[in-house]
Structure 1
Amino acid sequence: MKLIAKVESIKLVADNTFEAAFYIDGFNFKAGQYVTVTLPNLKNLETREQFRDFSVVSSPNELPLLRIVMRKSETAFRQELFGMKNGEEIVLEGPAGIFTLPNDFERSIVFIAGGVGISPFLSMMKFITDNKMPYSITLAYFNRSIGSSAYLPELDTILENNPRLRVIKILGLLEEKYIVPLINQNPLWYIAGPPGMVKAGREILTKLGIIDNDIKTEEFSGY
């Protein structure tokens, strides 16, 4: 489904990291899904330069407001989006993706996020907190520095309102030593971040005996 959305705001949420918020009517999605954003002003460029896929960082409960997040770069798409003013229109298509919460609450869940890979996890954590859903979740959030860590205040607010959630903030690369303490309750595993990190995470989990059916991944390339 393609719909017109209007820019509500574009703001800095961490070092070199921006959030774009849009108003959109008649749209719905599941926490963890992604959307395709097309910028009409780029119609003279090659088709693949006119659009990008983004996981939604906001909760479905926030609609008609929808938020996405991305790293700053010099691509034509990013430069055009960052220059847009409130009220300007974009085309939004979706939702898509199966990187969503399980239907039952029986098993605990571990989220492993790298950088803007926090997007689907923040959407899910906010959604389950707002709706008082009894998921038990640990988020391991990897970043290069505190300054590059997006949404720390929002995560703190979520934690204050949901004792079944836990966040581990790690400055550095994903390593086995951070994963081993999390495997003792036989959780489901979700990994989202840069391709190299997602690959490393899957390899670590496989080495530790986690089966493929218990691992969900989503790569954020060039975000």
Structure 2
Amino acid sequence: MLEPWRTGKVIKIENANSSTRRFWIEIPDAASFDFKPGQFVTLDLPIHEKKNKRWRSYSIASAPDGTNIIELVIVLLEGGLGTNYLFNEIHEGSELVLRGPQGVFTLPDPLEKDLFLICTGTGVAPFRSMAHYLHKHKITHGEIHLIFGCRKFSDCLYREELEQLQKDERHFYYHPVFSREENVGDGAYKGYVHAVYESILQQNKRPANFYLCGWKNMIDEAKQRIVAMGYEKKDIHQELYG
């Protein structure tokens, strides 16, 4: 059953970097906005006459916390009607029509296998939600490897808090990967996400679930490589961006 459309109010906006913003949205008619980490909301933006040309879906970047406030992290797409509207017309105090939560890109229950959370860009949003949720609720899990591909250091969203989470949460490993940086420092990688999960699994192949979130090219290549390592398609879950 689809959730009803409701009105949210933008209560805070922050620049994450030159092309990405964090939007905090309060849903006043809900005492709490309950969702599963990994789910998304759909915004109905006044950018087209046809309904389906107005809808834009974004993963919830915050973890469920019992409040009626959620965070979305959105990158400005060149020529994108939706993101240009959000960046140019929406400010603190603006209202947005939204529907949700929606989606089945959620954590397995129970968490028996190791998890590889592989993302690029704002595809980190659902994984940030999952990681904070697991930590807050002290949920038992195997190894979790969050592999986050970026071009430059400035593209690496939530870096400090994910580094802190790696220190605070047992068996949680954070692997930032940079394709356009020469010197990346300890704990980071040069290149692309695929070499990282392949390297980890070459050292110790084990039962695992793979969650992919980001641009189509990354997801398509990851699926091919994961299957080539001997995993089944049912081990792979994806959320496509763009």
- TM-score with structure 2 length normalisation? 0.84
1:158-177 alignment, distance < 5 Å = 158-172=165-179, 174=192, 176-177=194-195
1:86 maps to 2:92:
yes
**CA distance in structure 2 between the aligned counterparts of 1:150 and 1:62, rounded to whole angstroms:** 24
1:157 maps to 2:164:
yes
- What letter corresponds to residue 135 of structure 2 in structure 1? T
**CA distance in structure 2 between the aligned counterparts of 1:175 and 1:65, rounded to whole angstroms:** 32
1:107 maps to 2:113:
yes
Q: Is this contact kept in 2: 1:191–1:198, CA < 8 A?
A: yes
- What letter corresponds to residue 190 of structure 1 in structure 2? Y
**1:87–1:180 CA distance, 2 compared to 1 (3 A):** same
Q: Deviations over 1:30-87 (max 9, x none)?
A: 0001110123xx1664433422000110001163210111111343322222232222
1:11 maps to 2:8:
no
2:160 is paired with a residue whose SS is helix
In the alignment, structure 1 segments of 5+ residues that lack a partner are none
1:16-95 alignment, distance < 5 Å = 16-25=19-28, 26=30, 27-39=33-45, 42=46, 45-61=49-65, 63-73=67-77, 74-82=79-87, 83-95=89-101
Q: Is this contact kept in 1: 2:34–2:64, CA < 8 A?
A: yes
1:147 maps to 2:154:
yes
Cα offset for 1:91?
1.1
Q: What residue is the counterpart of 2:223 in the other structure? A: 202
Cα offset for 1:124?
0.3
Q: Is this contact kept in 1: 2:36–2:106, CA < 8 A?
A: yes
1:179-190 alignment, distance < 5 Å = 179-183=197-201, 184-190=205-211
Count the aligned residue pairs. Answer: 219
Cα offset for 1:188?
0.9
Q: What residue is the counterpart of 2:238 in the other structure? A: 217
Cα offset for 1:209?
1.1
Amino-acid identity (%)? 24
**CA distance in structure 1 between the aligned counterparts of 2:241 and 2:173, rounded to whole angstroms:** 23
In the alignment, structure 2 segments of 5+ residues that lack a partner are 180-190
- TM-score with structure 1 length normalisation? 0.91
**CA distance in structure 2 between the aligned counterparts of 1:174 and 1:98, rounded to whole angstroms:** 27
- What letter corresponds to residue 231 of structure 2 in structure 1? I
1:19 is paired with a residue whose SS is strand
- What letter corresponds to residue 147 of structure 1 in structure 2? S
**1:62–1:165 CA distance, 2 compared to 1 (3 A):** farther
RMSD: 1.8
Q: Is this contact kept in 1: 2:178–2:192, CA < 8 A?
A: no
> Which protein, 1 or 2, shows the higher relative CO under an 8 Å CA cutoff with sep ≥ 6?
1
Cα offset for 1:164?
2.1
Q: What residue is the counterpart of 2:214 in the other structure? A: 193
Cα offset for 1:15?
3.7
Cα offset for 1:216?
0.6
**1:75–1:211 CA distance, 2 compared to 1 (3 A):** same
